[in-house]
Structure 1
Amino acid sequence: MIAKISPPSKDLMKTLTYNFRKVDRDQADILLSGQLSADGRLTAERVFREMTAYIPSGTRTKNIVFHASINPRPDEPLSDDRLRTIAREYLCRLGYGDQPFIVFKHRDIVREHIHLVSTRVRHDGSKIRDTMEHVRSTRIMRSLEAKFGLLPSRKKEDVSVKPSAVDIDAGDIKRQVAAAVQYVLGRYAFQSVGEMNLLLT
């Protein structure tokens, strides 16, 4: 698995809207939430209100958003329960376990993956330590792979799945075409658009 942590951001609503828009388009599901009200349906506005209410006014931290994705190997699909366990343990070990958080499972590309959104400021106004966060994140991923018996992923390792031919009857043509184009672009160099079209036919 590879975890990608987005640069810290000020715009929590933008991050939530991005993920909830995927849910509205049936390209994602809410997989897990923590420290958020369990009653009623979660919306971007509601999660935003609850997360920002958790942060005391006058906090000096400006970039309050923690946003990461965890990308399992495409050739090793994981159940929703396993993804929930991995997400919860990842957040806890990185220091976000007691924070309000929400986890989305994205299905908008061939490789299903999860997005984790939380806040970088504790209820007392202190900032969660982010020193060497990417290094710690990678160590946590390797540890979780070992714990759950998963094959290790490396950024330079080719673990993508070759897409099948686009099937109009299967639906979601945009996703199928995007997967095919992404696969081809990652493996070939072209001198012209004509050469690329030849490979895509």
Structure 2
Amino acid sequence: MVAIIKTSASIYRIVNYNENKVKQGVAHCIAAINYPKEADELSISQKLNRLLNQAALNENVTRNSVHISLNFDPSEKLSGEQLQEIAQTYMDKIGFGNQPYLVYEHCDAAHPHIHIVSIKVRSDGSRIDMQNIGRNQSEKARKEIEKTFRLVQASGNKQKSENKTLPVNVQKVQYGKIETKKAISTVLDFVLNNYCIFC
């Protein structure tokens, strides 16, 4: 599992990004944690307003939104329930368990992944410190989740997967159809091995 954490000053932009993916049919909201209703009972404005209202409790926090993606190995077939459980475990372990957050399952890439949208302002108006969260809490959480859920380990597997490119037909690379990095690598290998300047 690979976790990517980004912060932003626009909660609206992050929610809108994920909701547009839902409209395109390549994602769906699988959980609304610490919301008054279930995800499928909430309108877009209700999802957004819950985050905006809590963020407004501390206007000094300018980069108040958090956008996390948890990315899994292409070989892993995880159910919606498993993805929800992984998201909740991860958020608890990095100190966001009591925050309102939305979990979106995306189907627009060759590997399973989820996006989590939350805020850095607690219900009492205090700010969640994210200094070194990736290196400290997130890395520890990732390793524990890999063991608990028996996921493919990111650290030991990275070297192997980067050196091993699976054969892909040399054709136009289409994002989401096959693993983009591997497809581009295959196309480049073919072109560089078969290009002849003086032919």
SS state at 1:109 partner = coil
Partner of residue 23, structure 2: 24
> What's the counterpart of residue 158 of structure 1?
161
Q: CA RMSD in A?
A: 2.9
The residue that corresponds to 1:145 in the other structure is 146
- Native 8 Å contact 2:58 2:127 kept in 1: no
* TM-score (norm. length: structure 1): 0.80
Residue pairs, 1:84-163, within 5 angstroms: 84-135=84-135, 136-154=137-155, 155-158=158-161, 162=166
Closer, same or farther in 2 for the Cα pair 1:46/1:195, shift >3 Å? Answer: farther
Unaligned runs of 5+ in 2: none
Q: Which amino acid aligns with 1:18?
A: Y
- Which whole-Å CA distance do the structure 1 matches of 2:118 and 2:30 have between them? 14
Q: For 2:154, what is the secondary structure of its paired residue?
A: coil
- State the partner residue of 1:170: none
Separation in 1 of the partners of 2:58 and 2:90? 29
Question: Residues 174 and 144 (structure 1 numbering): CA distance in 2 closer, same or farther, change over 3 Å?
Answer: closer
Query: How far off is 1:5 after superposition?
Result: 0.7
CA distance in 1, matches of 2:4, 2:103: 14
Q: Distance in 1 between matches of 2:109 and 2:167?
A: 11
Partner SS state of residue 186, structure 1 = helix
Q: Structure 2: how far apart are the matches of 1:83 and 1:96? A: 17
Structure 2: distance between partners of 1:57 and 1:38: 22
The one-letter amino acid of 2:71's match is N
The correspondence of residues 74-93 of structure 1 with structure 2, limited to 5 A, is: 74-93=74-93
Q: Measure how far apart 1:182 and its partner are.
A: 3.9
User: Any gaps of 5 or more consecutive residues in structure 1?
Assistant: 167-172, 197-201
For residues 19 and 189 of structure 2, what CA distance do their matches in structure 1 show?
37
Q: Equivalences for 1:53-72 in 2 at 5 Å?
A: 53-72=53-72
- Greater shift, 35-44 or 128-137, is seen at 35-44
Could you report, residue by residue, the CA deviation over 1:13-33 in whole angstroms, capped at 9, with x for unpaired residues? Answer: 100111001111110011111
Aligned residues: 187
Contact residue 76 and residue 112 of structure 2 kept, 8 A: no
- Give the match for residue 15 of structure 1: 14
| C-alpha displacement of 1:92 | 1.0
Report the CA distance between 1:34 and its aligned residue.
1.0
